[in-house]
Amino acid sequence: MEQEFIAAWERNRAEAEKLGVRMRPLDLRGAKRVLSGHRDSDGFALLAQKERLDLSLEALSVNRRFTELFSDEEANNALTRLLEAGYRF
């Protein structure tokens, strides 16, 4: 499951790069650290401007395929950020 998450993150990063949005590579530990923090992930604001929050770490972490990898707190932080940015599921 973790390897699937990393592969999906790499695909999202490549797609974001095509839009001019740079996001750093992350392993699961790094993703969890970002999601448990108090700031948005790299590129989140730019992805929101481009209406592509589906490529964000936050969106990926609340995807049904990967929810078991994250704590309730991490998932809630991600969901809150997405909703506050106007993301529609």
pLDDT value for 89: 84
Overall pTM surpassing 0.85 (yes/no): yes
pLDDT value for 41: 76
pLDDT value for 79: 95
Residues in the chain predicted with pLDDT less than 70, given as ranges, are: none
Hey, what long-range contacts does 43-50 have (CB within 8 A, 24 or more apart)? 43/16, 44/81, 44/85, 46/19, 46/20, 46/21, 47/16, 47/19, 47/21, 48/85, 48/86, 48/87, 50/19, 50/21
Residues 20-45: pLDDT tens digits?
999 999 999 999 999 998 887 779 99
Q: How far apart are CA 24 and CA 61, in angstroms?
A: 16
